[in-house]
Structure 1
Amino acid sequence: MKIKSKGIAVFLSIIIIISAALYTAVSGLNMGGISIAPMKDGIKQGLDLKGGVYVVYEAQTDETGEELKKIIDQTIEVFRRRIDSLGLTEPVIVKEGEKRIRIELPGVKNAREAIDMVGKTAQLKFILEDGSVVVTGKNVKDSEVVFRNDSNEPIVSLKFDAEGAKAFADATEKLAPTRSPILIVLDNQVISSPRVNDKIPNGEATISGNFTVESASELANLIRAGALPVDFKEIQTSTITATLGENALKASVQGAKIGVVILVLFMLLYYRIPGFVACIALVAYALIIGFTFVIMGATLTLPGIAALILSVGMAVDANVIVFERIKEEIRNGKSIRASIDSGFSKALSTIVDGNITTFIAGVVLYNFGTGPIKGFAVMLMIGIIASMFTAVVISKALLKSISNANVVKNTKMFGA
C-alpha cells in the first residue's frame, strides 16, 4: 500500500506542476508581487507574421578579410542606433554573406521612410557648443579602445588626418583654459561630450570617463563608422503586409491544431496508457519551448513554426521508440515495471543517436545560414533538447509512477 500511495503521489505531483505551468502560460500570473504575462504576449512575432519590411544592403568596397569584417560590424552598429531611434520593435540586423547586411523591420508603417532613414550615409561631426564644426568623420583616421597604464581603465583613442589634427589643435587650445566640451555628434545625435583638459597638437586624443569595455567599444565603433568611406547599395527590398502575416500565422496554427489532434488520437488508441503519458509529455514539451522563447527574447517566424512542428514529430518519435521497446519486453514475459525500465534503457541509445545527428544539422544551418534559416535552426535545436528531456525524463517518470501505483495490471492497456 505504501508503494501504491507513493506512485500516485508522484504522478499527481507531475500533473499539478504541468497544469500550473499551463495555466500561467495561458492566463499569466499575478500573485505575491510576482507578475508573469501570458505567453502569447511575451513571444515576439517576426516579419513574416507581423508584416513590415526588409532590406538588404551591399558594401561597395574591394576590401576583404578582417578589414571588410570591421567595416560590416561598424556599419551594423550605426544601423542599429538609427533603428532604435525610430522606436521600432523586434528589429533584426544580421550579416548576410561577406558584404551584405540584412535588416528586418516588423510592424513598420511607412516602409520607404524607414529605409531612407536607415540607409543614409552616416554624418559624424565634432562640434563646439555654439554649433560650429571642428572636424567631421572624414578627418578621423582611427578610433579604438585602449587601456590606461596606471589604472587599466578602458578609454577611447582617436587619430585624425593632417587637416583634422590642425583644426583639432586650434580648437582644443581655445577650449582648454575653460575645460569646455567638444560634442561628438552622429546623425544629429550627441553620442559623447568629452571636456578638453589640454591642447592636443599631434592629432591623437583620448576620451575617458567611467567607461566599461563594452561602452567604450560601442563609442569607438560609432566614431569609426561615421568616418567610413564605404557606400552601401540597396540591392533588395520587400514589404510584407500585416494581412499576409496574419493569414500565414492563422494557417500555420490551424494546420498545427489538426496535426496535434490526429496525433493525440493515434497515440491514445494505439498505445493507450503510454499514449496518454505521451500526450502529457507533449504538453510539457510545448510549455518548455514557449517559456524558453520568452526568456530568450527570441522572435517567432514561419520557419521557426516549421521547425517547432518538426521537433514535435521528433518528440513523439522518441516516445514511440520507447513504447515499442516496452511492448516487446512485456511480450517476452517481463512485468510491467521491469518492461518500462528495460524499454527506456534499450531505447535510449537510439533516441540519443537520432537527436544528436539532427542537432548537428541544426548547428551547421545556424553557422552557415542567414536570416530565416538561422531562425529555423535555433528553433530546431531548442526543440530537440526539449523533446529529449520530455521523452526520457517526464515520460519515464509518469510511466514508472503508474507502474509503482500498481493500479493497472492488464498488459493490453500498455498496447501489448
Structure 2
Amino acid sequence: MLQVETWKRVLIWALVAVGLLLAMPNLFYDRVERHNDAVSAIEGGADTSENRDAAGAWPSYLPSGLVNLGLDLRGGAHLLAEVQVEDVYAARLESFWPEVRDTLRPERDTVGTIRLQPSAADELRVRIGKPENMEQALELVRGLASPVQSLTGAGSTDITVRGEGSDIVVTLSEAEREATDDRTMRQSLEIIRRRIDEVGTREPTIQRQGFDRILIQVPGIGSAQELKDIIGTTAQLTFQPVVSRTSDPDENPGIGNELLPSMDQEGLYYVLEQAPVVTGEELNDAQPTFDQNGRPAVNFRFNPSGARAFGDYTAENIGSPFAIVLDNEVISAPVIQSHIAGGSGIITGDFSVEESTQLAVLLRAGALPAQMTFLEERTIGPELGQDSIEAGQIATAVAFIAVLVFMGLSYGLFGLFANIALIINIGLIFGLLSTIGATLTLPGIAGIVLTVGMAVDANVLVFERIREELKTSRGPARAIELGYERALSAIVDANITTFITAVILFVMGSGPVRGFAVTLGLGILTSVFTAIYVTRLLIVMWFERRRPKTIEV
C-alpha cells in the first residue's frame, strides 16, 4: 500500500527544516556578516561598544553560517608572487658556521687558526692556519653532513666539502638544494595561509604555480597593496649576542658580525654576531599583553628545543647583553641578569596596542623563509562582483521559472509537488554550502543553475513510470507505488555517474573548477533526496487526504 511510516515523515521534515534554517542567514547576508565579524573581533580582544552592538544585531540562538562569496563575486585582491629560493641557501650556510667552528676548535693544534672568510651567497669559506693538514680538516667538516630528508635525495648528504688553498669551502649538495627549494615553497605557502587566516579574511585561494611561484587570491580585501602589506611583512625575530654598541652607522662590524640600528633610539647601532642563538621559527606562541608599567608588549614562548637553547645561553652568559632583533632592527638589548628557564619571556618597546597585536599575529604566523617578488597584482572592485551576482541571479531565476512552468504544464498537480520540492532543494543546497563554509563563485552559480535543470529529472522519471502503470489499469495508489519503485534504479544510476564526475572535478581541479564541482555534487545529493523522499511524501499526504479514484499525471 501507498504509505510512509510516521518516523520517516518526522525525519524527512526535520531534515528539510534544519536545511532551510541553515540557509536562512543568507537572506540577511550583510546583517549576519557584520554580526560574525563583530563576534570574531570580540573574541580577539576588541570588546568595544560598536562590536557589541553589531554582535547583537543577529540572535545568537540562530545559525550564523554564510555562503562565502568568491573573488569574482565579492571583489578582492589577486597576486602572483615569485619566491626567491636562493636566499635560503645563504641563510642555511651562514647558520652552519658555528658548527664548523666548534668542530675545528678542539683540533686547533692540527688545523691551526680558524677564520671565517668573505664568501659568495651559495658557499661558506673558512680559512685554516695549517693548510698542509687540509685533509684532516676536510674529514672533520664532512662529519657534520646529514642525509638529505627527501625521497629524491635518498642516499645523498646535505653538504659538499672541498679544499681550495688554505680555505675549506662548504656548499649545499644538489639534492639538498632541491629538497630545500621544496621545503621553502611549502613553508612559504603555509606561512602565507596562516598570515591571511589570522587577519580574518574569508576563503582565500593560495596555490603553488610552477616551480617557484605562488598564486594568492583573497576575496573581500580592499586592495592588492593591503594584501601585500599582510604578506610582505617578514616579522623575523632573532635573539643574537651583542658584541658592542656604537653611534657610527658606517662602522665595520667584522666578519661574522653585522651592524643593526636600534628601533627606539635614533643614532644608536649594535654590532651583533650574525648567527642567532634562537630564531622566531622556534616560537610556539606569541600574545599581546602589557608590561609591569602598563605599556603594550608581547609575550612569547619557545618550543622545547628553542627553550633549551635559550636557557643554556642565558645560563652561560649572565652579565652579558643580548639583542632581541625584529626585521633587522634591535628592539631591545637587555643584560642577562639570571638563568631564564622555561623558554618564555616578554618583548617590550615603543608599541601601541594595535602594533603589539599585529606583531603577535605576525610572530605566530612565522617568518617567510625567503623574499618574494610580486610579478602580477590586481584589485578586483566590488562593482564587477555585483554585476556578476546580478547576472547569476538573472540566469538562476530564468532557469528556475522556466522549469517551474514546464513542470506545471506537463504534469499538473504532480508538477506542482515537484516545484515545491525544487524550491526546498535550492534552500537545502544553500544550507549545506553555509554549513561547510564553501565559497560561491561564478562557476558555482553555473553549478546551481545546472542543478535546477537536473533537479526535476528524477521527478520526470517517476511521473512517466506512474503514467505507464496507470495504462495497465492498476489503481492510483498501486501505480504511484510502482512508479517510485521502478524508477529508483534509473534515478540512482544517472545521479551516481554525475556525482562521480563532480568528485573527479573536485579532486583534479582547482579554484573555480572546484567551486563548480562542490555546488554540482551537493545539488545532486539534495535533488535525489527531494525527488525520492520529499515529493513522494507530498503526494502521499495529498492522496491520504483526497483518496481520489483516478489520477492524471
Q: 2:290 matched to which residue of 1?
A: none
Distance of aligned partners of 1:159 and 1:352 in 2 relative to their CA distance in 1, 3 Å threshold: farther
Distance of aligned partners of 1:368 and 1:7 in 2 relative to their CA distance in 1, 3 Å threshold: closer
Distance of aligned partners of 1:265 and 1:54 in 2 relative to their CA distance in 1, 3 Å threshold: same
Q: Which whole-Å CA distance do the structure 1 matches of 2:428 and 2:495 have between them?
A: 17
CA contact (8 A) 1:144 1:157 kept: no
3-state DSSP of counterpart to 1:108:
coil
Q: 2:316 matched to which residue of 1?
A: 173
Distance of aligned partners of 1:360 and 1:126 in 2 relative to their CA distance in 1, 3 Å threshold: farther
Q: CA RMSD in A?
A: 4.8
Q: Where do 5+ consecutive residues of structure 2 fail to align?
A: 33-55, 86-173, 242-261, 264-269, 285-301, 346-360
Q: Which whole-Å CA distance do the structure 1 matches of 2:314 and 2:10 have between them?
A: 76
1:107 to 220, 223, 226: 220
1:237 to 370, 377, 384: 377
1:357 to 490, 497, 502: 497
Q: CA deviation at 1:155?
A: 5.1
- After superposition, what is the alpha-carbon deviation per residue over 1:129-179, rounded to whole angstroms, capped at 9, x for unaligned? x9887877898698699xxxxxxxx9554599xxxx8x996445346x9xx
Higher relative contact order (CA 8 A, sep 6+): 1
Q: Which whole-Å CA distance do the structure 2 matches of 1:51 and 1:23 have between them?
A: 28
Q: 1:285 matched to which residue of 2?
A: 425
Q: CA deviation at 1:244?
A: 0.9
More displaced 10-residue stretch of structure 1: 341-350 or 275-284: 341-350
Letter aligned with residue 35 of structure 1: Y
Aligned pair count? 368
Q: Which whole-Å CA distance do the structure 2 matches of 1:326 and 1:208 have between them?
A: 74
Identity %: 31
Letter aligned with residue 279 of structure 1: N
TM-score computed with the length of structure 1 as normaliser: 0.70
1:365-404 to 2 correspondences below 5 Å:
365-404=505-544
Q: 1:94 matched to which residue of 2?
A: 206
1:188-199 to 2 correspondences below 5 Å:
none
Q: 2:545 matched to which residue of 1?
A: 405
CA contact (8 A) 1:156 1:220 kept: no
CA contact (8 A) 2:79 2:377 kept: yes
1:50 to 71, 74, 81: 74
Q: Does 1:276 align with 2:302?
A: no
Q: 2:61 matched to which residue of 1?
A: 35
CA contact (8 A) 2:21 2:63 kept: no
Letter aligned with residue 223 of structure 2: N
Q: Where do 5+ consecutive residues of structure 1 fail to align?
A: 146-153, 201-205, 210-217
3-state DSSP of counterpart to 1:35:
coil
CA contact (8 A) 2:81 2:376 kept: yes
CA contact (8 A) 1:362 1:380 kept: yes
Q: Which whole-Å CA distance do the structure 1 matches of 2:15 and 2:436 have between them?
A: 22
Q: CA deviation at 1:234?
A: 2.6
- After superposition, what is the alpha-carbon deviation per residue over 1:326-351, rounded to whole angstroms, capped at 9, x for unaligned? 11111222222222222222222222
3-state DSSP of counterpart to 2:529:
helix
Distance of aligned partners of 1:351 and 1:20 in 2 relative to their CA distance in 1, 3 Å threshold: closer
3-state DSSP of counterpart to 2:434:
helix
Q: Which whole-Å CA distance do the structure 2 matches of 1:115 and 1:138 have between them?
A: 30
Letter aligned with residue 36 of structure 1: L
1:74-93 to 2 correspondences below 5 Å:
74-84=187-197, 87=199, 89-93=201-205
Q: Which has the higher helix share?
A: 1
- After superposition, what is the alpha-carbon deviation per residue over 1:4-51, rounded to whole angstroms, capped at 9, x for unaligned? 9x999x999978996897588277799xx8632688xx3322211111
CA contact (8 A) 1:88 1:105 kept: no
Q: Which whole-Å CA distance do the structure 2 matches of 1:52 and 1:266 have between them?
A: 39
Distance of aligned partners of 1:231 and 1:13 in 2 relative to their CA distance in 1, 3 Å threshold: closer
1:249 to 384, 389, 407: 389
- After superposition, what is the alpha-carbon deviation per residue over 1:249-288, rounded to whole angstroms, capped at 9, x for unaligned? 0111012112211111110111112211111111221121
CA contact (8 A) 1:182 1:196 kept: no
Q: CA deviation at 1:399?
A: 1.9
CA contact (8 A) 1:79 1:119 kept: no
Q: Which whole-Å CA distance do the structure 2 matches of 1:362 and 1:388 have between them?
A: 15
Q: Which whole-Å CA distance do the structure 1 matches of 2:328 and 2:453 have between them?
A: 50
Q: CA deviation at 1:380?
A: 1.6
Letter aligned with residue 402 of structure 1: W
Q: 2:287 matched to which residue of 1?
A: none
Distance of aligned partners of 1:327 and 1:244 in 2 relative to their CA distance in 1, 3 Å threshold: same
- After superposition, what is the alpha-carbon deviation per residue over 1:296-327, rounded to whole angstroms, capped at 9, x for unaligned? 22222111111111122221112111211111
